[in-house]
C-alpha cells in the first residue's frame, strides 16, 4: 500500500476513536430504556474500552494487506454471529415480558399442542401477544427440556440466519460484496446482542420478516414450490408480532420493483420450454430482474400473498374474539402508550447503532436517487415507515435493522477503494463489539433480575423437588412482583407452588393506565396451584419482594415458624424501578420421613 492510500485509513482510525470519545462525553443524550450509555459505563472504565479499541484498530491497520474473501460467506457470517451472540447468554431476563412468553410456552409443554390452541386467549392469558413464538418455545420445552439454554440456542440460530439473509438479499438485489458488507454491518449494532439471549419475540420477528422478503423475491423469480415457501414464511411473520403487520407492506414495494424491472408482456421474447422446477422464463438467473414479463411477476406475487392471507384468515376466524380484543387493546392502550415509551432516533441510530452505519445509510438515499436505482426501494421502505410514523421504541424498530445494514452497505459501495470501505466496516465492528462486550454485557449481568438466575441455580442444589413461593407486593411497586414467579421457574428445576398474596394493588383506574398494566392482570397459572405438596411443611420457602424484607405480615410469620434464613439474593444495579429480591428459607430441622414415622 502506498502512502497516498494510507492517509484515509489513518483518518478513519482516528475518527473511530473520536466517535467513541464523543458518544461517551455526550452519553446523557442516550435515552435508551435498557442499555443507555448513561448506565452501561457505571463500574466500567471508559479508558479500558478506549485502550482495547485502540489496540484492535491498530492491529487492523497492520493487517490491511491481508485479503479476506471467504469461500463460504454464508457459513462465515453464521458462525461468527453465533459465537459473538453466545457471549451474552449469561445475561438474565431483563424485560418482564418474558414471563408471559414462558407461561404460555409452559402450558404447551405440560398439556400439549391441542390444549395450547384451544385455550390460547382463554385459560392461557395472551395479552397482545401473537401465538407463534410461545408455540415454538413450548415445542422446544416439550421435545427437549424446560431449559432456557435450548431457547437461547434457537433464538441465536434465528439471529445468525438473519445475518445470512441480509447477505443474500444484498447479493440478489446488487452483488455479493454489497450483501457481504451488509451482513457484516448488521453486527455493528450493539443493542442487538442484548436481545438475542432473551425469551422474547423481537429477534424472531426480525428473522421472519427478513425471511419473508427474501423468499418473496425467490418465489417471484422461481415459482412453484418456492412460492409455497414464501407464503408459509409470510404466514409465520403475520403471527410473530402485531407491529410486523404494517412492515409487511414491503412486499408490495418489492413486487412493484419487480414489475418495473420486468419486461412488458408485448415485448417479451418467445417463452422457452418450462423447466421442471418452475414456471419461469429464465428467472433462475441470480440478481437479474429483467428476465420476466410483468404478467408472471404480478400473478406470482398475488398468489404468494393470497395463499398466506387465506391461511392467516382461517386462524383469525377460529380465534376471532381473542384477536379482536387484542387489536382493541393495541389501539386504545398500547398505541397511545408508545408516546410514553419512546426513545429518540439519536439514541437508536448513533448510540445503539454505530454512527458509521447511520451516516452511510443516510448517504445511500442520495446515491440511490442519483442512480435512479429502483431496487433501493426494497431496503429503504421500512426505514421510511419508521420516520413517517415516528416509531421511536427501539424494540419495535428491531426488525428494520437488516435493511439499515443493507442501506449502509449500499452507501459504502460508492467508495471506489475496496480496501477502504472494508476497513470502515471493520472499524464499525470493532467499536461495537468492544462496547458490547466490555460495557453492555457486564451491565446486563448486574441487573436486579439476575437474582432470579442465582436463586434458581441455588434452589437446584437443595434437596427435594418442590419449593413454595410467596410474593410481597408493596405500596410503591411499579408492577406486580408475581410476574417474577415464571422467571424464577425458568431458572430452576424445582416444582413451584405459588402462594398468591394480594397485598397492595393499585385501584382499577390506576392499574388500567399503568405502563405495565399486564402485570396487574397476571393470573396464577393452574400448574402452580396447591396440591398434596402443601402438606409438606418443611419444603423450602422462597419470598419474592421489591426490597429486602424487614418485617413480614402475620400470616407469613406463622408460615415461617421453625424456618431460618438460608440465603438472600439482593443484587441491584440502582437504575430501574423494578427490583427483585429473592430470600430463601429452610426448615431448621428436617421432618421425619414416612417410614420413620411408622
Residue 322 pLDDT more than 80? yes
**Of the listed ranges 48-57, 60-69, 414-423, 530-539, the one predicted with least confidence:** 530-539
* Mean predicted confidence (pLDDT) in 314-318: 95
Instruction: Give residue for cell 412482583.
Output: 481
Q: How many whole angstroms separate alpha carbon 470 and alpha carbon 452?
A: 14
Q: What is the mean pLDDT of residues 540-554?
A: 85
Angle, helix 98-111 to helix 132-143, in steps of 10 degrees: 50
Q: By three-state DSSP, how is residue 73 classified?
A: helix
Q: Confidence class of residue 556 from pLDDT cuts 50, 70 and 90?
A: confident
Identify the bridge partners of residue 263 per DSSP, sorted by sequence position.
Answer: 293
Q: Minimal CA–CA distance to 257: which of 303, 297, 208?
A: 297
- pLDDT for residue 332: 82
**How big is the chain by its Cα radius of gyration, in Å?**
27
What pLDDT, in 10s, does the model give residues 365-413?
999 999 999 999 999 999 999 999 888 889 999 999 999 999 999 999 9
Is the model's pLDDT at 268 over the cut of 70?
Answer: no
pLDDT at 279 (0 to 100): 30
DSSP characters over 178-219: HHHHHHHHGGG-HHHHHHTTSSSSHHHHHHHHHHHHHHHHHH
What is the pLDDT, as a whole number, of residue 549? 79
Element (H, E) at 3: helix 3-25
Q: Is 290 within 8 Å of 375 (Cβ atoms)?
A: no
Judged by phi (left if over 0) then psi (alpha if -120 to 50, else beta), residue 318 lies in alpha
Q: Hey, what's the torsion of the CAs at 395, 399, 404, 410, to 10 degrees?
A: 170
Instruction: Tell whether the torsion through CA atoms of 474, 479, 485 and 491 is positive or negative.
Output: negative
- Cβ-in-10-Å burial (0-12, 13-18, 19+) of 38 comes to middle
- pLDDT of res. 67: 66
Q: Which three cell numbers stand for residue 575?
A: 437504575
- Is residue 263 scored above 90 in pLDDT? no
Q: What is the band of 267 on the pLDDT scale with cuts at 50, 70, 90? A: very low
Mean pLDDT of 228-249: 96
Strand partners, 568: 583
In this structure, the chain runs to a length of 598
Residue 508: the pLDDT is: 53
Let me know if 402 is exposed, middle or buried by CB neighbors in 10 A (0-12, 13-18, 19+).
buried
Q: Which of 240, 536, 289 is nearest to 399 (CA)?
A: 240
> What letter would DSSP give residue 566?
E
Whole-number pLDDT of residue 70: 76
pLDDT band for 590, please (50, 70, 90 cuts).
Answer: low
Confidence of residue 143 (pLDDT cuts 50, 70, 90): very high
Mean pLDDT of 274-287: 37
DSSP 563: E
Lowest mean pLDDT among 100-114, 251-265, 349-363: 251-265
- Helix/strand/coil for 294: helix
Residue 214 CA to residue 165 CA, distance in Å, equals: 7
**pLDDT averaged over every residue in the chain:** 87
Q: Which of 144, 242, 155 is nearest to 200 (CA)?
A: 155
Average pLDDT on 7-26 reads 95
Share of the chain above pLDDT 90, in %: 67
Average pLDDT over residues 507-531: 71
| Angstrom distances, CA of residue 320 to CA of 98, 113, 471 | 25, 19, 35
Q: How far apart are CA 287 and CA 172, in angstroms?
A: 4
- SS3 assignment, position 471: strand
The confidence score (pLDDT) of residue 115 equals 96
pLDDT at 40: 95
Nearest to 192 by CA among 11, 440, 392: 440
Q: Which residues contact 528 (CB under 8 A, 6 or more apart)?
A: 469, 485, 496, 497, 498
CA distance 558 to 569: 23
- Domain boundaries along the sequence of the chain: 1-66+419-433, 68-95+129-414, 450-597
3-state helix, strand, coil in the chain (%, to 5): 60, 5, 35
Q: What is the pLDDT of residue 127?
A: 87
DSSP code at position 275: P
* Residue 531's pLDDT band (cuts 50, 70, 90): low
Instruction: Assign 272 a pLDDT band (cuts: 50, 70, 90).
Output: very low
Q: Is the pLDDT of residue 535 over 70?
A: no
CA dist 415 and 421 (Å) reads 6
Residues contacting residue 518 through CB under 8 Å, at least 6 positions apart: 100, 127
Does residue 584 contact residue 459 with C-beta atoms inside 8 Å?
A: yes
pLDDT at site 43: 84
For residue 420, give the C-alpha cell.
477502504
- pLDDT (average), residues 315-331: 92
Per-residue pLDDT of 442-471, as tens digits, reads 999 999 999 999 999 999 999 888 999 988
pLDDT at 179 over 80: yes
Compare 191 and 522 and report the one with higher pLDDT. 191
Query: What's the pLDDT score for residue 248?
Result: 97
Instruction: Give the closest residue to 201 by CA, choosing from 148, 234, 230, 239.
Output: 239
79: Cα separation from own chain's centroid: 18
Q: How confident is the model at residue 496 (pLDDT cuts 50, 70, 90)?
A: very high
| Model pLDDT, residue 277 | 34
Q: Which residue, among 444, 404, 400, 403, has the nearest Cα to 241 in the 3D structure?
A: 400
For the cut 80, the answer to whether the pLDDT of residue 13 exceeds it is yes
Angle at 406 between CA 200 and CA 213, to 5 degrees: 60
- What does the pLDDT average to over 162-177? 96
Higher pLDDT: 334 or 472? It is 472
pLDDT of residue 536: 57
Residues 6 or more apart from 462 whose CB is under 8 A from it? 494, 540, 586
**Confidence (pLDDT) at 550:** 78
| Higher pLDDT among residues 588 and 133, named by residue | 133
pLDDT of residue 274 exceeding 60: no
Residue 150 has pLDDT above 90, yes or no: yes
What pLDDT, in 10s, does the model give residues 39-50?
999 889 999 999
CA 470 from centre of chain: 31
Quote the pLDDT of residue 15: 96
Is-contact 566 540, C-beta < 8 A?
yes
Residue 344 buriedness (CB in 10 A; 0-12 / 13-18 / 19+) = middle
> How large is the greatest C-alpha to C-alpha distance in the chain, in angstroms?
95
pLDDT grade, residue 336 (50/70/90)?
low
* C-beta separation of 190 from 440 below 8 A: yes
Amino acid at each position: 500500500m502506498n502512502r497516498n492510500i494510507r492517509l484515509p485509513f489513518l483518518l478513519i482510525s482516528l475518527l473511530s476513536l473520536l466517535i467513541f470519545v464523543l458518544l461517551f462525553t455526550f452519553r446523557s443524550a442516550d435515552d435508551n430504556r435498557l442499555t443507555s450509555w448513561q448506565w452501561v459505563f457505571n463500574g466500567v472504565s471508559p479508558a479500558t474500552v478506549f485502550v482495547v479499541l485502540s489496540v484492535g484498530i491498530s492491529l487492523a491497520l497492520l493487517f490491511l494487506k491481508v485479503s479476506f474473501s471467504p469461500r463460504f460467506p454464508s457459513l462465515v457470517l453464521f458462525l461468527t454471529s453465533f459465537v459473538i451472540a453466545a457471549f451474552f447468554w449469561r445475561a438474565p431476563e431483563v424485560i418482564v415480558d418474558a414471563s408471559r412468553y414462558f407461561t404460555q410456552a409452559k402450558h404447551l409443554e405440560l398439556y400439549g399442542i391441542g390444549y395450547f390452541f384451544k385455550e390460547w386467549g382463554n385459560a392461557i392469558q395472551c395479552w397482545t401477544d401473537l401465538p407463534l413464538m410461545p408455540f415454538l418455545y413450548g415445542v422446544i420445552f416439550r421435545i427437549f427440556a424446560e431449559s432456557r439454554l435450548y431457547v437461547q440456542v434457537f433464538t441465536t440460530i434465528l439471529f445468525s440466519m438473519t445475518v445470512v439473509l441480509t447477505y443474500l438479499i444484498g447479493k440478489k438485489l446488487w452483488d455479493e460484496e454489497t450483501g457481504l458488507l451488509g451482513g457484516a454491518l448488521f453486527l455493528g449494532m450493539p443493542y442487538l446482542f442484548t436481545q438475542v439471549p432473551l425469551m422474547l419475540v423481537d429477534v424472531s420477528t426480525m428473522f421472519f420478516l427478513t425471511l419473508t422478503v427474501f423468499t418473496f423475491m425467490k418465489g417471484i423469480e422461481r415459482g412453484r414450490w418456492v412460492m409455497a415457501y414464501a407464503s408459509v414464511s409470510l404466514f409465520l411473520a403475520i403471527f410473530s408480532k402485531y407491529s410486523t403487520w404494517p412492515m409487511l407492506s414491503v412486499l408490495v414495494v418489492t413486487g412493484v420493483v419487480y414489475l418495473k424491472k420486468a419486461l412488458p408482456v408485448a415485448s417479451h421474447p418467445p417463452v422457452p420450454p418450462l423447466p421442471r422446477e418452475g414456471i419461469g422464463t429464465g428467472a433462475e438467473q441470480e440478481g437479474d430482474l429483467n428476465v420476466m414479463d410483468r404478467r408472471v411477476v404480478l400473478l406470482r406475487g398475488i398468489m404468494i400473498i393470497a395463499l398466506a392471507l387465506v391461511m392467516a384468515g382461517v386462524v383469525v376466524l377460529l380465534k376471532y374474539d381473542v384477536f379482536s380484543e387484542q387489536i382493541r387493546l393495541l389501539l386504545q392502550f398500547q398505541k397511545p402508550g408508545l408516546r410514553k415509551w419512546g426513545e429518540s432516533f439519536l439514541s437508536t441510530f448513533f448510540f445503539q447503532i454505530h454512527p458509521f452505519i447511520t451516516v452511510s445509510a443516510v448517504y445511500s438515499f442520495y446515491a440511490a436517487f442519483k442512480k435512479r436505482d429502483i431496487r433501493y426501494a426494497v431496503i429503504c421502505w421500512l426505514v421510511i415507515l419508521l420516520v413517517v410514523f415516528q416509531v421511536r421504541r427501539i424494540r419495535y424498530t428491531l426488525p428494520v435493522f437488516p435493511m439499515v445494514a443493507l442501506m449502509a452497505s449500499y452507501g459504502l459501495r460508492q467508495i471506489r477503494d475496496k480496501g477502504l470501505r472494508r476497513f470502515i466496516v471493520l472499524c464499525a465492528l470493532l467499536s461495537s463489539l468492544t462496547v458490547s462486550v466490555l460495557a453492555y454485557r457486564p451491565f446486563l449481568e448486574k441487573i436486579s433480575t439476575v437474582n432470579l438466575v442465582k436463586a434458581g441455580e441455588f434452589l437446584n442444589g437443595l434437596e427435594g423437588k418442590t419449593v413454595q413461593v410467596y410474593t410481597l407486593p408493596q405500596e410503591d411497586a411499579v408492577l406486580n412482583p408475581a410476574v417474577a414467579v415464571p422467571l424464577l421457574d425458568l431458572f430452576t428445576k424445582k416444582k413451584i407452588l405459588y402462594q398468591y398474596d394480594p397485598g397492595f394493588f393499585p385501584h382499577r383506574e390506576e392499574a388500567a393506565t399503568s405502563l405495565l398494566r399486564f402485570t396487574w392482570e397476571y393470573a396464577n397459572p393452574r400448574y402452580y396451584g396447591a396440591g398434596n405438596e402443601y402438606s409438606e411443611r418443611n419444603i423450602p420457602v422462597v419470598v419474592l419482594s421489591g426490597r429486602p424484607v424487614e418485617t413480614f405480615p402475620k400470616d407469613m410469620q406463622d408460615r415461617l415458624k421453625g424456618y431460618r434464613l438460608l440465603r438472600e439474593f439482593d443484587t441491584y444495579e440502582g437504575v430501574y424501578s423494578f427490583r427483585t429480591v429473592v430470600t430463601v428459607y429452610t426448615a431448621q430441622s428436617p421432618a421425619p420421613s414416612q417410614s420413620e414415622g411408622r
